[in-house]
């Protein structure tokens, strides 16, 4: 009995060391990533979006390679923060890359994630259309984005109604109507509206060629109300309203 106890005392430290430098490292990395995600979420709530993006980056660097599901969720939240940080073109590029990543993934993503991603992409498409129209881009350049946004909102609204979630369906139908209005609106009407905050980082020469100084004067509409439905200001950037 005493020999068995002695052997156990000798084995346990070795097992602990092996665990620490093996599976334990992955768990430590996940714990560290979780802490950074919590800090990033707190930064978003405080509207410190640049800090949130930086912290999401730190979280991504700590997530083990075999946890692609977690990485994709953090990438989505980072893209939302970019939209709120006036980095709409960058966010849109990241969202499209994330869509490609999920489409080619060996394992299917959760229904909740797929819905959240589709809604966020639709929002980005909506605001990218707004920007391209103000830049003076021809219809053939911006129409595919707003049509894609319209289709995404329609699919999401139909899915919500099929699940019996009438409130969510009504909100998404409001987003759909906003997309339709944006496509039909005269440019002069659009120029008279307050610029959504998701678009405010553009029209200043900082949008990688997506803003060419055409169309809207950045001062136009600054004192006008931003009615998300009546003025066509569209959906929230993160989909939390639906």
Q: What residues does each domain of the chain span?
A: 16-86, 110-242
* Percentages of the chain per state (helix, strand, coil), in multiples of 5: 70, 0, 30
pLDDT recorded at residue 111: 93
Question: Helix 2-21 crosses helix 23-45 at what angle (to 10 degrees)?
Answer: 50
Neighbours of 192 (CB within 10 A): 14
- Summarize pLDDT for 64-93 with one digit per residue, the tens: 888 899 999 999 999 999 999 999 999 999
* Alpha-carbon Rg for the chain in angstroms: 23
Give the C-alpha separation, 169 to 158, whole Å: 7
pTM above 0.75, yes or no: yes
Closest by alpha carbon to 198, among 77, 90, 100?
Answer: 90
Question: From residue 148, how far is each of 4, 70, 122, 215, 240 by CA, in Å?
Answer: 69, 27, 7, 23, 20
The distance of Cα 83 from the centroid of its chain, to the nearest Å, equals: 7
Q: Is 9 exposed, middle or buried (0-12, 13-18, 19+ CB in 10 A)?
A: exposed
- Summarize pLDDT for 96-146 with one digit per residue, the tens: 999 999 999 888 899 999 999 999 999 999 999 999 999 899 999 999 999
Give the C-alpha separation, 153 to 169, whole Å: 9
pLDDT, averaged across the chain: 79
pLDDT recorded at residue 12: 45
Coil, strand, or helix at residue 153?
helix
Alpha helix (H) ranges present in 22-110? 23-45, 49-62, 68-84, 88-103
């Amino acid at each position: 009995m005493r020999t068995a106890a002695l052997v156990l005392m000798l084995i346990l430290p070795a097992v602990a060391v092996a665990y620490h430098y093996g599976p334990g490292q992955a768990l430590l990395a996940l714990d560290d990533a979780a802490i950074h995600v919590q800090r990033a979420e707190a930064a978003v709530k405080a509207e410190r979006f640049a800090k949130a993006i930086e912290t999401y980056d730190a979280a991504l660097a700590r997530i083990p390679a075999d946890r692609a599901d977690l990485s994709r969720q953090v990438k989505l939240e980072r893209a939302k923060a970019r939209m709120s940080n006036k980095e709409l073109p960058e966010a849109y590029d990241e969202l499209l890359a994330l869509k490609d990543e999920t489409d080619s993934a060996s394992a299917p993503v959760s229904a909740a994630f797929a819905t959240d991603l589709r809604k966020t992409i639709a929002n980005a498409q909506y605001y990218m259309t707004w920007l391209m129209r103000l830049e003076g881009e021809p219809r053939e350049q911006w129409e595919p984005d707003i049509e894609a946004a319209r289709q995404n909102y329609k699919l999401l609204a139909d899915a919500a109604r099929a699940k019996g979630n009438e409130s969510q369906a009504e909100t998404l139908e409001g987003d759909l109507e906003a997309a339709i209005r944006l496509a039909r609106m005269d440019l002069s009407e659009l120029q008279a509206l307050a610029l959504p905050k998701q678009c405010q980082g553009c029209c200043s020469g900082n949008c990688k060629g997506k803003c060419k100084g055409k169309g809207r004067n950045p001062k136009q509409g600054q004192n006008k109300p931003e009615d998300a439905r009546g003025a066509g200001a569209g959906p929230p950037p993160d989909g939390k309203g639906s």
